Amino acid sequence: MSLSKIDAIETETEQIDQEKYLRQATQYYTALEKPLKYGPVIDSLTDLITALHREFDTNYVNIEMVNHIMLSYKSNPKEWRKYAKFDRYKYTRNLVDFGNGRFNLLILCWGEGVSSSVHDHADSHCFMKMLKGDLREKRYKYPHRTEEQLGNIADDQLVETGETPMALNDVAYINDNLGLHRVENPSHADTSVSLHLYCPPFDSCSIFQENCKKTTAKVTFWSKYGVRTKLNEQ
């Protein structure tokens, strides 16, 4: 076997190990309210992106440090305005940074009263930080599945586990072990903007109806790096 092939297999194994480690390490993790005492100083969106690249450049990512970095950034609309592209009727996902394939950094724009469906995060980690306005996050238990039903959902009613209001600069964290969520802009007068980090990136997730019926939804980019994407590039 060629050396390059061995390198490729080792890299793939490292990535699988990293994902496994992250899932286990964060099974019961919820975002902290305060930044850590020691960590990089984040004075701008550029600092934030630089610090995230440094953090994700290793095989083992410190989830508390990622939380710290997201919390430390104080929203400055001048820095993120070019990414914030709205649609009147639905929330938009706007790519800010590809994270060398290890994470995606997105800005989500929420028109007045706009809401997501109840969804999971495709076994990835999701950090969500408020940049403008308010959002309300409703959480639900991940429905049970049974082997007898060949992986079908056994429950027939989503169970709500809590509701959290999010205000400017707040950070929330969720993964599938912690449940599902629905995010909504509670205001019918103001728009909201949030910054999301997904690790590893994913291009589809599951959405759930109140009766636990599950469907797969492809996730798309409304814009990339500040430029509106064409339909075939989403």
Amino acid at 98: F
Residue 46: its H or E element: helix 45-55
Task: Write out the DSSP string of 65-84.
Answer: HHHHHHHHPPP-HHHHGGG-
Closest-CA residue to 174 (of 193, 197, 207): 197
Is 125 assigned a ligand-binding role in the annotation? Answer: no
Is 68 assigned a ligand-binding role in the annotation? Answer: no
What φ, ψ does residue 208 adopt, rounded to 5°?
Answer: -125, 140
- Reported residue count of the chain is 234
Residue 223: its H or E element: strand 223-224
Q: Return binding residues for Fe cation.
A: 119, 121, 181
Annotated binding site: 119, 121, 181
